[in-house]
Amino acid sequence: MRDDSPNSWEARADASSFYGFTDLPSVHERGAVVLTHGEGPYVVDVHGKRYLDANSGLWNMVAGFDHPGMAAAAKAQYDRFPGYHAFFGRMSDQTVMLSEKLIEVSPFESAKVFYTNSGSEANDTMVKMLWFLSGAEGQPQRRKILTRKNAYHGVTVAASSMTGKPYNSVFGLPLDGFIHLSCPHYWREGQEGETEAAFTRRMAAELEETIAREGADTIAAFFAEPVMGAGGVIPPSAGYFQAIQPILKKHGIPLIADEVICGFGRTGAVWGCQSYDFMPDAIISSKCLTAGYFPMGAVILGPDLCERLDRAVEEIEEFPHGFTASGHPVGCAIALKAIDVILKGDDRNPPLIENVRALTPRFESHMARLAEHPNIGEARGKGLMGALEAVRDKATRTPFDGDLSVSERIANTCTDHGLICRPLGQAIVLCPPFIMTEAQMDEMFEKLESALGKVFAQIT
């Protein structure tokens, strides 16, 4: 519970902080959790309490909170060249090296990279690139962006408009021309008696109907997360991308893979698009790109978009867009180290992606066991990302009343038990660091199971 003494960390946080994406009733009752440092997959608060962070910070701290190699890479680059931009044809050697590395590990035969400070900015940048391209190619009407309900693409204005969450209505968003198709969540959105294959066909038919209604020549792109992350870890229905991509190709509509969460190992493959066997026209990357040790995003343009954008830029001599810190040399040095840690390992440790693959069966087994609880309607996920959906009635998939704040209660009870996890809707989301051991995985689920039992006993 919160400490309300005037000089407590909780009181100081309240007095000085304007909270984002925070359940204010919980913070007002319990106080903020103010942290001082991390130890592997654990974080430690100002009172010395340790928490196993099953959220990897915010999906991104996959190498843990005290990785010596990551910190050393940052320190070495700060000593060598502490900051620069990527404007006017000038950039650091680390920026060039990172671009080469990203192209090497991408699914593209050739590509180019544009840097931002976040995934939100990378999605906004991609939209501006598409709008710029439309105008340059004599199709200024081609501006509409297709995404899905429950998708999350960020918090900048265009990214918020792409995000298919109702809370953006408080900002008067989405902007005109941002169209949200159905969420491909078969368990929740499937009709009575509808098979998963029939559901996928219905999603494809909806896309075809939307394109016909809006006009293919007005649509700039379709953006999709391979697995919807902040929507509640929602994998697509079977065959979804294989059903929609031919439709997009037929109408000349690029498919942009938002890999901010899935990219660099979260699903067990380097890219989520590889886990679901589709080839996008561009990839949006962030989060695991630097293992959370630096704010950075990247737009990785596939060969077709590269060629078209190069031609378009030549007409006006520049692409008038960029960020002061994009391609930051320290961030690029950190990203190069993070990619090595995740995909290559080092002398002392194997690649973290191998640990993701090794731990996934154990993770899935625990999830399946908890799914047997009468108040868990669905366990879903891919690789080391999963969600448990709470329901009042399992047979009818009836959710709990909203005023019970069931997922917030579960998350708060987990915090009391020394576990950090994330409430999303009526689901509890787990996305643990890639450095987890089997014992830590078991600890995570033991604490979660205890919290579930306590909360469900109170409200059922």
Q: Report the candidate in 287, 416, 421, 435 with the shortest Cα–Cα distance to residue 367.
A: 421
How confident is the prediction along the chain (460 residues), in pLDDT tens digits per residue? Answer: 667 788 999 999 999 999 999 999 999 999 999 999 999 999 999 999 999 999 999 999 999 999 999 999 999 999 999 999 999 999 999 999 999 999 999 999 999 999 999 999 999 999 999 999 999 999 999 999 999 999 999 999 999 999 999 999 999 999 999 999 999 999 999 999 999 999 999 999 999 999 999 999 999 999 999 999 999 999 999 999 999 999 999 999 999 999 999 999 999 999 999 999 999 999 999 999 999 999 999 999 999 999 999 999 999 999 999 999 999 999 999 999 999 999 999 878 899 999 999 999 999 999 999 999 999 999 999 999 999 999 999 999 999 999 999 999 999 999 999 999 999 999 999 999 999 999 999 999 999 999 999 999 999 8
- Asked whether the beta carbons of 429 and 387 are under 8 A apart, the reply is yes
Cα–Cα distances in Å, from 267 out to 123, 323, 435, 446? 21, 30, 15, 23
- Residue ranges, comma separated, of all CATH 3.90.1150.10 domains in the chain are 33-66+350-459
Fold of 77-343: Aspartate Aminotransferase; domain 2 (3.40.640)
Domain limits, CATH 3.40.640.10, in the chain: 77-343
Q: Look up residue 343 and give its amino acid.
A: L
Model confidence, pTM = 0.96
The per-residue DSSP string of 150-191 comes to T----SSHHHHHH-B-GGGGGGT-SPTTEEEE----HHHHPP
Strands 422-424 and 427-430: antiparallel
As a whole number of angstroms, the distance between CA 85 and CA 170 comes to 35
With beta carbons less than 8 A apart as the criterion, state whether 280 and 255 touch.
yes
Strand partners, 45: 35
| Residue 162, CB-side half-sphere exposure with 13 Å CA sphere | 32
Domain 33-66+350-459, what fold? Answer: Aspartate Aminotransferase, domain 1 (3.90.1150)
Task: For residue 66, report the phi and psi dihedrals to the nearest 5 degrees.
Answer: -145, 40
| Cβ atoms within 10 Å of 365's Cβ, excluding its own | 12
Nearest to 290 by CA among 354, 324, 333, 349: 333
Helices (H) and strands (E) in the chain, counts: 16, 15
**CA–CA separation, 274 vs 268, rounded Å?**
9
Residue 334 neighbours by CB under 8 Å, 6+ apart: 70, 73, 74, 77, 290, 291, 293, 294, 296
Distance CA 312, CA 319 (A): 9
